[in-house]
Amino acid sequence: MSFPGIYVTGNVVVDTLVRPADRLPEWGSTTCVDAIAMRLGGNASGAACAAAMMGVPARIAGMVGADAQGAYARARLEECGVDTTRLAVHPRQPTAATVGLIHSGGERLFFHVSGACGVFSPADISFERTAVEGCAFFHYGSVFCLPAMRKHAAEILRRAREAGLIVSLDTDWDTEGQWAELIDPLCGLIDYFFVNTLEGRRLTGSSDPRGIAEHLRGRGAGAVIVKTGRRGCAVFHEGGSFRSPAFDAPVVDTTGAGDCFCGGFLAGLARGAGLEDAARLANAVAAHTVRAVGNTDGLAPYAEVAAWL
């Protein structure tokens, strides 16, 4: 059975993850750890890989450098089943990179350089027929993580809608602190709005999922999916609201869990699920993601996740 695809944009990053890092040591010292691992990272990568692993066609629009890290990122995306024909290569900028310190409890702290993602611009993403063919959804992994796209987010979302795509957006963290100033004007262009409670508080002033959703829906957003970490998610839509609890799973690393959650949720919709079943699938995908170090290494194929459910 074939399903409508998901066209994803956002950052594509190579992560270097250090675990465990429960405290910052003194300058000049050396600390032995259990693992230092290179992994595929980035919000677009996580969402696209999760959707593809759930058996839904996923195509990524992004940019990497002409370096070994860029080749690694492309290979890993393709290993997960993602179509990388729209993944551009910058001849001079390096692939975006993150160093992540992973706490023994699974939480993380990131140091990031944008590299090629920092110059990825509206001219680098196409909504022509050949680019979106077979896709029904457009997922914008993060307005905040693509510096050259920040001021053009509304343009990108409008182009996606004009191409006939259902639009979703995940906020991520705004290192420049603009938050609502940038996001509020976009709400009317978003069919599915993903946000976690920390981001939601910055955007709306509320830490309560209902308060977050009321703010965003009041500004025109469609369904609002609030990611609540170990508690799962809360979904607010035109017909009402519900909470979907997280699954009990061992947590090794939470890196990318929210991005993969989004890919799982959209994959559920693409497979024909209603909101409640899509949320349940998304929580299951996130539960698999956190069981391994890295954004995508814990992902499993749809058949395995469905059997697990």
- Whole-angstrom Cα distance, residue 210 to residue 183? 18
| pLDDT above 80: residue 1 | no
CATH class belonging to 5-23+34-308: alpha beta
For 183-227, write each residue's pLDDT tens digit.
999 999 999 999 999 999 999 999 999 999 999 999 999 999 999
User: Which strands form 96-102's sheet, in the order they lie side by side?
Assistant: 35-41, 13-19, 96-102, 108-113
Average pLDDT for residues 229-256, to the nearest whole number?
94
- Whole-angstrom Cα distance, residue 75 to residue 83? 11
Confidence of residue 33 (pLDDT cuts 50, 70, 90): very high
Is residue 63 classed exposed, middle or buried when 0-12, 13-18 and 19+ CB atoms within 10 A define those classes? buried
Q: Which residues pair with 108 in a beta bridge?
A: 102
Domain extents in the chain: 5-23+34-308
pLDDT value, residue 39:
96
Confidence of residue 253 (pLDDT cuts 50, 70, 90): confident
Name the token pair of 215.
Answer: 């703010």
pLDDT value, residue 142:
87
For residue 8, the surrounding DSSP H or E stretch is strand 5-9
Name the token pair of 140.
Answer: 């914008």
What does DSSP assign to residue 232? -
- Which is it for strands 13-19 and 35-41: parallel, antiparallel or unpaired? antiparallel
